[in-house]
Amino acid sequence: MLRTLLAGMGIALAWVCYTQAANQETSSPVAQPALPQRALLNRYCVTCHNEKLKTAGLMLDKMDVEKVAEGAPVWEKVIRKLRAGQMPPAGMPRPDKATYDSFATYLETELDSAAEAQPNPGRPSIYRLNRAEYTNAIRDLLAVDVDGRSMLPADDAAYGFDNIGAVLAVSPVLLERYMLAAEKISRLAIGDPTIPPVLETYDVPDNLRQEDLMSEELPFGSRGGIAIRHNFPLDGEYVIRFRLQRDNLGAILGIDKSKQLDVRLDGTRIKLFKIGGERKGKPTDAEQEKYVRTADEGLEVRIPVKAGTRLVGITFLKETVKPEGVFRYPAGIVAPAGASVGEEDFEGIASVTIGGPYDAKGPGETASRSKIFVCRPTGSRDEESCAKKILSTLGRRAYRRPVTDEDVQPLLDLYKAGSSKGRFEAGIGMALERILAGPEFLFRVERDPENVPPNTAYRISDLELASRLSFFLWSSIPDDELLDLAEKGKLQNPAVLEQQVRRMLADSRSEALMSNFGGQWLYLRNLRTKVPDPGLFPNFDANLREALQRETELFFKSIVREDRSVLDLLAADYTFLNERLARHYGIPNIYGSQFRRVRLNDEMRKGLLGQGSILTVTSYNTRTAPTLRGKWVLENILGTPPPPPPPDVPSLKDNQETKALTMRERMEEHRKNPACASCHKLMDPLGFALENFDAIGQWRTTSGAAKTPLDASGELPDGTKFKGPTELRNILLNKREQFVGSFTEKLLTYALGRGVEYYDFPAIRKITREAAPDYRWSSLTLGIVKSAPFQMRRSQEP
């Protein structure tokens, strides 16, 4: 029996010994006050130790429950399995809950006490700013909005995030991209008068239905179109050109109908075009054929624009008000039950091209120039002193620390070379390029103090803490207030640190935490690449894709902004919907394209488990995937990811024979393979509970060509049975400590920019204990910021 239990529990030899002891001595070791717990464990584990068993690649015969701290890497794995209820397997004998929890608590207490006495905060890698951080840092340093995606390649990811220092490698090609980006950004920020005219095109997705107001930045009473934040580099004239959507044969959609195209700059109308409708006279067939293909060639306007980032809006005026509850679907698109169907294809904007500057007048006065030029020389005699002040100010912000003469002198040398032709601003521009392409800006480097012995945990400096804090909460550089406090050493004061954390969370820059952490933790970034089979899911289009993502973004943002409990991620009885998404969910009386907060009466839709974004990214393009959904729950909710699949495991059969089967029946066939069964028995039951949601998150009650009623029942490894998303959610909420611990582990990984190791788990447990019982967002965030892994570092080994 011992070996059977051991095989089921993996590394849990000590647990086997413990339950052995409990069964032989008493029904519960707590009932034997005369025999200390550790003595009880040691007394009955000797025999097991002497058997020299090896399980899951670990030698367990040497494990000593009297010296838990010495085996911390193994015992942390034991704790994780115990807390997940994954040992022993369902159907095998197990102790009562008090005994079970007592042993886990004993291990945790021993490990936590050891960590408190001798903290091991780890030694982070050198960090390169990833693409999002670089883009945000440019914005905050220079007040310039740039498109990082067009300048830099995507970053590699590890542990679920793309800000992990160990994988943010640097190649010669990437360095070249950084240098090109630095040159372009410097010219944009300063306003280089020699910039030649360029064309930049903004495309609108072909399958985006432009039925209603497309953006809150467009005027009320409009429909379709696009809102663009474009950087105009110089005062000058610019040409804005528009193209309309076409059918597969190249004909402009809806050109036979009269409409008005409204063009605005920073909210002010600059042109109103009247297009389409009946033409005067009687054009020939050839003339009409040419017209329907070329009618938008004259849709352009040339206007003077002041330099800076400005909002360009192009949209159609609504000719009539759409009756509430009426939503037209293009011809050939199958509408959901109860929806109205239009008889004509719908038209909209296909692209907008902005060209210029022409007849440039100069750089003008922009936010970026105001941020850069903190002084203006009055003559040649004070140019160098002014340049030094400018470069010192930029260097301090870019390098996230006070600059020295050794930092500034190379910048001054470049300034002198660039200004040799008599242009002060050209010299500043050349030095700025060096700042933006230099390692001091692109990398976050933490250096060991000279007086710290090797391999010793020490508290990082306030300046290093300020950088850790700003890149955690803002994905960007510290602002002047945070830097000032760090320079004065005031971040060591817990009250000051907490005040800064709350200030930064309230700042709009914390949107980066929601989009970068939330977008990756919840797999939302994967949504833009999902292309459900149009034959099976004809109603999935760009509008629905955007709505699914926007719902979860707004939901996650509400948890953060309202400082709610992270348990509400699973349990909240509200969400954010517009008409398109409400119709997709079958929720009535929601009209218009604007999202609004909606209280949910449907238990199935509550929390993340009922949101279409999660359900879509955990499905295949043709069907649901219980394994993917179950794996998502294990990894992101319970924090117990399954092991990677063995090599050469066959994929699920997908042929004519299997199409008539339900997903459960197909998975049962798949699990007959012994190589697949061990992991699938953990993942599949969780995914089966969500089978009532199809591959794009719509509710259903049958599956397959035979319309077989769905079976959404499942069973956890500890034998707990459930059926459907509501019962699964309730079970997960009953494991609240496990979920909060898993969430904290993910957030700590993101905050540190490295994977969580065994020596980090005492800190995670401390954070979650101190955040109980409410587990508010701010409590967990502050707990991470105050933790040893975040505030400390281990010096290099000799």
Q: What is the pLDDT of residues 25-55, one digit of tens each?
A: 333 333 333 334 444 344 323 333 333 334 4
Which residues are CB-neighbours of 182 under 8 A, at least 6 positions away?
432, 433, 434, 435, 436, 437
How many Å is the Cα radius of gyration of the chain? 31
Q: What is the pLDDT of residues 365-380, one digit of tens each?
A: 999 999 999 999 988 8
Lowest mean pLDDT among 91-105, 387-401, 772-786: 91-105
- Confidence at 220, pLDDT banded by 50, 70, 90: confident
Of 35, 608, 142, which Cα lies nearest the Cα of 398? Answer: 142
Give the phi and the psi of residue 722 in degrees, each rounded to 5: -155, 165
> Cα torsion at 79, 84, 87, 92 (round to 10°)?
150
pLDDT score recorded for residue 19:
36
For residue 99, give both structure tokens: 């005994």
Environment class of 672 (CB within 10 Å of its CB; exposed 0-12, middle 13-18, buried 19+): exposed
Before 645, cis peptide (omega within 30)?
no
CA distances from 754 to 50, 136, 491 (A): 38, 21, 23
- Confidence at 611, pLDDT banded by 50, 70, 90: very high
- pTM for this prediction: 0.87
- Confidence at 660, pLDDT banded by 50, 70, 90: low
Residues in the chain: 798
Annotate 297-335 with b (16+ C-beta within 10 A) or e (fewer). eebbeeeebebbbbbbbbbbebeeeeeeeebbbbeebeb
CA distances from 112 to 69, 262, 535, 718 (A): 9, 64, 55, 26
Of 110, 97, 114, which Cα lies nearest the Cα of 37? Answer: 110
CA distance 580 to 594: 10
Provide the 10 A C-beta neighbour count for residue 549: 21
Query: Is the sign of the CA dihedral 475, 481, 485, 491 positive or negative?
Result: negative
Which residues are CB-neighbours of 392 under 8 A, at least 6 positions away?
403, 408
Name the more confident of 458 and 288. Answer: 458
Q: DSSP labels for 644-690?
A: PPPTTPPPPP-SHHHHTS-HHHHHHHHTTSHHHHHHHHHHHHHHHTT
CA distance 181 to 661: 54
